[in-house]
Structure 1
Amino acid sequence: MSTLKVGVIGCGSIAKYRHLPEYHANKEVEIVAVCDIVTERAENMAAQYGAKAFTDYKEVLELDDIDAISVCLPNYLHAPVSIAALNAGKHVLCEKPMATSKEEAEAMIEAAKVSGKKLMIAHNQRFVSSHQAAKEILDSGKLGKIYSFKTTFGHPGPEAWSVDGATSWFFNKEQAFIGAMGDLGVHKADLMRYLLGEFTEVGAFIETNAKQNTEVDDNAVCILRTDSGIIGTLTASWAYVAGGDNSTVIYGENGVLRLEDDPEYSLIEEYRNGNVVNHKLAKIQTNEEGGQTTSHVIDHFVESIIENKELLINGEEGMKSLQIILAALESQETKQIVSLQKEGVSVK
């Protein structure tokens, strides 16, 4: 394959700040089409990247010269548009959370299987330098037995980030399905699965207590447990009004790992014997200025297609991370701990 020809469906902030600039920066890619129901938005992006503007995504999927599609739409459209794109013979990179139910996620995975095309979910936390370094340390056994963890993803909310501000679909329950848990929590569910393996049980307290005129969650604290007995907390919030927190701390037999928990060092190893190792690595990506310049998601997606490599985050991986969030919602509703084995998630 000479050049990978792509179309981006949805021209909101995630397309504007991540997908389109990262495709543009990749020498293997040509951006052929952009699509948004707001004509002006599509035309602006088309003009910027030398693409053709569309307002109906079905017309984009009919283009023979498009190899791959980015789905950058409100959550409730992720599954139907991804499935339509796969059925049209396109590779798909879908924003997170991949779907609004396990059934939708399974239908996406099946569509990818039938079409023989790749389906990737845009979980960027696995590509962060500190997270990849931490995985190497954990896999090496240097930390010994892992006991516990705490992971957090919080910021002031999507108002400043979303192209539609306070009127954004993020706050519309019918379009978003879930709030901070789908926006931020699912990223951390994916990260902790990547670092520690599969979880078997989930409990949660989920609230809407910080934002006005919305029914979606804006504060959630979840408790997770692995089969081997590692327990920890996962927090997702749109209420951190003074700035973001994207930290993770892992507690083991021989020491502690601090990821994105220090302004200077992206990863800190603290050992029982007093040894401390500070790592100055590429900064984690943020929505503010000065964040990591690339999420690496686009490059991984493009490389996996061109070189026909396995994806780090395929549909099955995306579904397992979604299942943790769905189980947390169920726990909030039932006031009980939810077993992921019961939910049909395969556990290592």
Structure 2
Amino acid sequence: MDKVKVGFIGCGGIAQYHFGHFEKMRDKAQIVAACDLQEERAKATADRFQAKAYLDYKQMLSKEKLDALFVCVQPGAHDGMEMLAIEKSIPMFVQKPMTLDMAYAKKVLAGLKKKKLPSAVGLQCRYCDSLLVAKRWADTHDIGVISGHRLGGMPKVWWWRVMEQSGGQAVEQTIHDFDLLRYIFGEVTSVRSVRRRGLMTDVENYNVDDASSTVLTFKSGAIGTFSTGCFGPGAHDMNAYAADSRLLYTIFGNYKITEPNRTIEGKASNDYGQECTETFIDVVRGALPADEVLSPYADAMKTLALVFAINKSMDNDGAPVTPSI
């Protein structure tokens, strides 16, 4: 089977994450083209993989014959690259969040469906093997309440602290946690969210939320609360409570189930980031069916709608908002 010829749009931090994955599957795929607005990053990537460097993705997509495309640009920079790739029938892996414009996401999804193209979104936490334990627990318990936190760790890139480019922490960073809430506990029918600002006073050109807290109502009837902030020491936890049992789960795949007569603990044993990237490549190669992708564009849009609803509720003083596509 021939190697999958891959192009990258964006060669920054998250692309570097994927580059490490590609170096572990040189027998399956080859990065042949790399595009970035910063010439040195495009050239460095080209040198690393013996690929062709570009500064303009339109030029890259017109000149290169690609089997797959990875879109790794900041959320506010999606300006048509997906649509051009769809025109050329190129399967796509798009980093989360896929855009800050739901209307644009709808156009992309419609194009993917029309061409029947494989797709994936970088919600790699779904690929933790230990997630199956958490989901099995949730599916077999009547859950009353869920609570969680994600605190600390403000990314240093300029665009992250600009709301118009990143969408803020709930959209750009905590989307992983909200996606896991959907995946483990089911769909969310309503959110109420409030924000906190004024803590990060020493960061220039910063207008995102310092913290937010969200109340989520699940279709199952469960009630969830989730707080997130880009300040202070790191904290990652998700707790769910049933009448006689409790689940603790983290985005890193650690879990603890507490029952009346026993405690079960464990952690992820796989490289879930590698598995996320490689599963998509295997689907493009025809080695796996398309439904092996755990985060296709269509499903990721539901998580995108959820985090957009959270922002909308914040903008409206905590008014209830129903996530919708």
Greater shift in the superposed pair: 193-202 or 273-282: 273-282
State how far apart, in whole Å, the 1-side matches of 2:74 and 2:297 are. 18
Q: Give the RMSD, CA atoms, in angstroms.
A: 2.2
5+ residue gaps in structure 1? 163-167, 284-291
TM-aligned CA deviation for residue 70 of structure 1: 0.7
State how far apart, in whole Å, the 2-side matches of 1:79 and 1:317 are. 21
Alignment of 1:258-277 (within 5 A): 258-260=248-250, 266-271=254-259, 273-277=260-264
State how far apart, in whole Å, the 1-side matches of 2:305 and 2:272 are. 30
State how far apart, in whole Å, the 1-side matches of 2:302 and 2:142 are. 24
State how far apart, in whole Å, the 2-side matches of 1:267 and 1:303 are. 29
Check the 8 A contact 2:128/2:268 in 1, yes or no. Answer: no
Which residue of structure 1 lines up, in the alignment, with residue 229 of structure 2? Answer: 237
TM-aligned CA deviation for residue 261 of structure 1: 9.1
Aligned to 2:69, the other structure's residue is in SS state: strand
State how far apart, in whole Å, the 2-side matches of 1:47 and 1:129 are. 34
Check the 8 A contact 1:109/1:119 in 2, yes or no. Answer: no
Check the 8 A contact 1:173/1:215 in 2, yes or no. Answer: yes
Check the 8 A contact 1:79/1:98 in 2, yes or no. Answer: no
Which residue of structure 2 lines up, in the alignment, with residue 165 of structure 1? Answer: none
Alignment of 1:1-348 (within 5 A): 2-16=2-16, 18-26=17-25, 27-78=27-78, 80-139=80-139, 141=140, 144-159=141-156, 162=157, 168-176=158-166, 178-211=167-200, 212=203, 213-240=205-232, 242=233, 244-260=234-250, 266-271=254-259, 273-282=260-269, 294-307=273-286, 308-310=289-291, 311-340=293-322, 344-345=324-325
Check the 8 A contact 1:157/1:239 in 2, yes or no. Answer: yes
TM-aligned CA deviation for residue 293 of structure 1: 7.7
Check the 8 A contact 1:184/1:237 in 2, yes or no. Answer: no
Instruction: For 1:4, give the aligned amino acid.
Output: V
Greater shift in the superposed pair: 36-45 or 130-139: 130-139
TM-aligned CA deviation for residue 44 of structure 1: 0.9
State how far apart, in whole Å, the 1-side matches of 2:294 and 2:92 are. 14
TM-aligned CA deviation for residue 270 of structure 1: 0.2
State how far apart, in whole Å, the 1-side matches of 2:181 and 2:151 are. 16
Check the 8 A contact 1:181/1:236 in 2, yes or no. Answer: yes
TM-aligned CA deviation for residue 259 of structure 1: 1.3
CA shift in 2, pair 1:63/1:338, >3 Å:
farther
TM-aligned CA deviation for residue 79 of structure 1: 5.9
TM-aligned CA deviation for residue 336 of structure 1: 4.2
State how far apart, in whole Å, the 2-side matches of 1:94 and 1:209 are. 33
State how far apart, in whole Å, the 1-side matches of 2:161 and 2:303 are. 22
Aligned to 2:107, the other structure's residue is in SS state: helix
Query: TM-score if structure 2 supplies the norm length?
Result: 0.90
Greater shift in the superposed pair: 6-15 or 292-301: 292-301
CA shift in 2, pair 1:281/1:298, >3 Å:
closer
TM-aligned CA deviation for residue 200 of structure 1: 0.1
State how far apart, in whole Å, the 2-side matches of 1:293 and 1:134 are. 15
Check the 8 A contact 2:150/2:229 in 1, yes or no. Answer: yes
* Seq. identity, %: 25
Check the 8 A contact 1:127/1:295 in 2, yes or no. Answer: no
Check the 8 A contact 1:5/1:29 in 2, yes or no. Answer: yes
TM-aligned CA deviation for residue 14 of structure 1: 0.5
Aligned to 2:86, the other structure's residue is in SS state: helix
TM-aligned CA deviation for residue 6 of structure 1: 0.5
State how far apart, in whole Å, the 2-side matches of 1:149 and 1:274 are. 22
TM-aligned CA deviation for residue 225 of structure 1: 0.6
